[in-house]
């Protein structure tokens, strides 16, 4: 089994030890490097072959956002996930907009942290559950896409041969609405909306609602 090579970066040694222990216990993961500030993490990448960087968002010298910026400037950059004890919607949005693959919390159950890393390695975008709808809504209004939301959805709908009802659900999903809100707007049952969302994720080859929104807004569908 191919193992994901991980760099763990956090200015708290206890957090580094705890995360390293957790990840090393996963059969498909191995921690190959650790760092205690952002600059040290960046230096490690020059000497160690890494598939994924799991970094605290608040670190000295280079914080998580600055570290991500430096990593993205590299050829063939590793997957980047930020992890934090205190969630900040602003920093979460920044990480996702910049091209990070995730924003998760240290307080999430260990199995969810492991699952998040696996999903990111499979091309997914992962975010702490409570922040997902907020980020989707903000992405719809602050995304760097050059045209309107409707134009992005229309193009996606044409490429993916979506039905009219699927397109309607998709545009409301991209505006950050939840299933019940979409159902109320479109006069559908919530179960029907769930079926549409599941089918949309399947059509776009994504693993989460947020990844679907990011894919459509940035026109990154497969």
What's the CATH code of the domain at 200? Answer: 1.10.10.10
- The whole-number average pLDDT for the span 124-128 is 79
Which single residue is written with the structure tokens 């602050």? 142
User: pLDDT value at position 100?
Assistant: 87
> Is there a domain that residue 222 lies in?
no
User: pLDDT value at position 146?
Assistant: 40
> Is there a domain that residue 132 lies in?
no
Distances (CA, A) of 157 to 3, 9, 83, 161: 37, 40, 34, 6
Is the same domain home to 20 and 82? yes
Quickly state the pLDDT bin for 221 (edges 50, 70, 90).
Answer: low
User: pLDDT value at position 120?
Assistant: 87
Distances (CA, A) of 33 to 24, 94, 199: 12, 25, 39
- The whole-number average pLDDT for the span 41-64 is 94
> Is there a domain that residue 35 lies in?
yes
Is the same domain home to 9 and 119? yes
Q: Is 55 a residue whose pLDDT tops 80?
A: yes
Q: Is 128 a residue whose pLDDT tops 50?
A: yes
Which of 17-26, 82-91, 109-118, 165-174 is predicted least confidently? 82-91
User: Where is the domain boundary, 100, 127, 154?
Assistant: 127
Q: Is 59 a residue whose pLDDT tops 90?
A: yes
Q: Kindly report the CATH number assigned to the domain that includes residue 113.
A: 3.40.50.2300
Structural domain of 180: 138-217
**Mean pLDDT score of the chain:** 86
- The whole-number average pLDDT for the span 105-128 is 88
- Structure tokens given for 205: 């080859």
Which of 7-16, 22-31, 146-155 is predicted least confidently? 146-155
- The whole-number average pLDDT for the span 99-119 is 90
Of residues 192 and 136, the one with the higher pLDDT is 192
User: pLDDT value at position 136?
Assistant: 67
Is the same domain home to 18 and 114? yes
Which single residue is written with the structure tokens 């072959």? 49
What are phi and psi for residue 199, nearest 5 degrees? -65, -40
Q: Is 144 a residue whose pLDDT tops 70?
A: no
> Is there a domain that residue 133 lies in?
no
Is the same domain home to 145 and 122? no
Structurally, how many domains does the chain consist of?
Answer: 2
Q: Residues near 217 by Cβ (< 8 Å), separated by ≥ 6?
A: 139, 140, 143, 145, 149, 152, 174
Q: Is 140 a residue whose pLDDT tops 80?
A: no
Closest to 105 (Cα-Cα) out of 90, 83, 127, 133: 83
Is the same domain home to 13 and 107? yes
């Amino acid at each position: 089994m191919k193992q994901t090579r991980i760099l763990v970066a956090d200015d708290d040694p206890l957090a580094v030890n705890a995360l390293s222990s957790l990840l090393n216990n996963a059969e498909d993961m191995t921690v190959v490097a650790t760092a205690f500030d952002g600059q040290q993490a960046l230096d490690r990448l020059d000497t160690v072959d890494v598939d994924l960087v799991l970094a605290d968002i608040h670190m000295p010298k280079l914080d998580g956002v600055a570290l991500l910026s430096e990593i993205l400037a590299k050829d063939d950059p590793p997957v980047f996930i930020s992890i934090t004890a205190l969630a900040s919607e602003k920093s979460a949005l920044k990480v996702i907009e910049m091209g990070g693959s995730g924003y998760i919390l240290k307080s999430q159950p260990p199995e969810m942290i492991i699952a998040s890393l696996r999903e990111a390695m499979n091309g997914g975008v992962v975010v702490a559950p409570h922040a997902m709808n907020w980020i989707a809504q903000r992405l719809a209004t602050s995304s760097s896409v050059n045209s309107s939301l409707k134009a992005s959805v229309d193009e996606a709908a044409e490429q993916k041969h979506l039905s009219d009802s699927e397109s309607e659900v998709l545009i409301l999903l991209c505006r950050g609405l939840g299933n019940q809100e979409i159902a109320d707007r479109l006069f559908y049952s919530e179960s029907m909306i769930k079926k549409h969302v599941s089918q949309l994720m399947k059509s776009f080859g994504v693993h989460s609602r947020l990844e679907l929104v990011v894919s459509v807004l940035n026109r990154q569908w497969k």
